[in-house]
Amino acid sequence: MRIAGVGSALPENRFQQQTLTDALKNHWGEKLGNPALMERMHARAGVNYRYLAFPLTEYEKFSSWGESNAAWFAVAEKLGRQAIDRALGRAGFARRDLDAIIVTSITGIASPSLDARLINRMELAADIKRTPIFGLGCVGGAVALTRAADHVRAYPGQVAALLAVEICSMTLQLQDFSTANLIATGLFADGAASAIIAGADRGLGGPEILGTRSCFYPNTEDIMGWEISERGFQVVLSPRLPALIRERLGADVDEFLHGFGLSRADIRSWVMHPGGPRVLEAVQEALALTDRDLRASWDCLSRHGNLSSASVFMVLEEVMTNRRPAPGAPGMIVAMGPGFCAEFILLRW
C-alpha cells in the first residue's frame, strides 16, 4: 500500500492574522469585554495567515445555521474537487480509476452526503465504494487514511481516494465570548486536502504504509468536540488537552513502534497534525522531539492555520514536496481528535 499522491486546495481569500483579529474586534465592539485578551490569544496562536471561503463582509449575511451549512456544502464541493484532481494528477491517475472514496468533514452535514455530490459532479465510476465520515474532527483525515489503507489491503489491485475538507469559518459563533471560542477564532481556517492510496498490485512509488493503529482514551469526551444546537456548532476545547497528550502519547507511540521493531529514534520524519501551539509543544515534550522534527507542522500552522481534518495532509504534502526523507527511512503520521483519540500511521519512504 502506498500514498501515490497528495493534493490540496485553498480558498482565494487570504488574510493576515491581525486583519482577522481587528475585524472581530470591530464587529463585537464593547460586547467583547476584554479585547486585549483576544489579541494575546490570537498573537500566540502561531498563525500568520489564514484562508477563508468568503470575503470578510460576507459573513454577517449568514443569519441561520441552514444558510451557513448550505455555504459549507457549496464550498466543500468546489475545494474537494480541486484537491482530488490535484492528488490524482500527482499520482498519475484519472477520475475513473478510483475504486473507493472516503470523505471526512466536521464543519457541515448533508444527506445525500458530500461524497455523493462529488461522484455526480466529477463523473466518478457508478460502482465506486463510498464512505462518508462525520464527527472525528482533527483526527478525521488520519482515520480516513487508515480506512483507505484497509480498503486497498483487501483489494490490492484497487485505488482509493480520501478527502478531508473543512470550512471552519462557517462554524463561527458570533454570540460566544468563551475562552474556547476566542481561541478558535484565532486558530481555524478553511481548506481541503486529498490523498490517493494504491494497492500493492499497482506497483507504484510513494511512501509505503506499513501499519496503522487507533488509540481511544476512555472517558475523555469533554476534551474536544462540538456542542450542537439550533445555533449550529459551538466549539468544545478543554485546557486539559495538553496534559493528556503529555501523559499518554509517548507510551502509545512506543508500543505501536515496538510492534515493528522500531523506536522513536528510528523515525526520520514526523507528519504531525498542527493542532495549535500548546498541542505541538505538548507533543514535542511527550515524544522528546526537537524543533526541527516538527518544523513542517509549525510552518503549515503559520501559513494556513488549523484546517482540522485536512491539516495533517497539508503537512504531508509539504514533506513529500519539499522535505522528503531518504528512501527507506521510517516516518510517522500522527493526528488526534474528539473522543478523545489518536491515530498513528507508520510509513517507509
What are the pLDDT digits (tens) for 72-128? 999 999 999 999 999 999 999 999 999 999 999 999 999 999 999 999 999 999 999
If one looks up domain 2-202 in CATH, what number appears?
3.40.47.10
User: Do 208-348 and 2-202 fall under one CATH topology?
Assistant: yes
Q: Which CATH code for domain 208-348?
A: 3.40.47.10
CA distance 11 to 5: 21
Element of type H or E holding 81: helix 65-91
| β pairing state of 330-337 and 269-272 | parallel
pLDDT in tens, the chain (349 residues): 999 999 999 999 999 999 999 999 888 887 887 888 888 989 999 999 999 999 998 998 898 889 999 999 999 999 999 999 999 999 999 999 999 999 999 999 999 999 999 999 999 999 999 999 999 999 999 999 999 999 999 999 999 999 999 999 999 888 888 888 888 999 999 999 999 999 999 988 899 999 999 999 999 988 888 877 777 787 888 889 999 999 999 999 999 999 999 999 999 999 999 999 999 999 999 999 998 999 999 999 999 999 999 999 999 999 999 999 999 999 999 999 999 999 999 999 9
Q: Is 300 a catalytic residue?
A: no
Report DSSP state, residue 306: B
Alpha-carbon distance 11 to 303, whole Å?
13
Cα–Cα distances in angstroms (integers) from residue 38 to residues 9, 47, 172, in the given order: 29, 14, 15
**What pLDDT is recorded for position 6?**
97
Q: Where are the domains of the chain?
A: 2-202, 208-348
Q: What's the whole-model pTM score?
A: 0.93
Spatial separation of the C-alpha atoms in residues 162 and 160, rounded to whole Å: 7
At 186 the pLDDT is 93
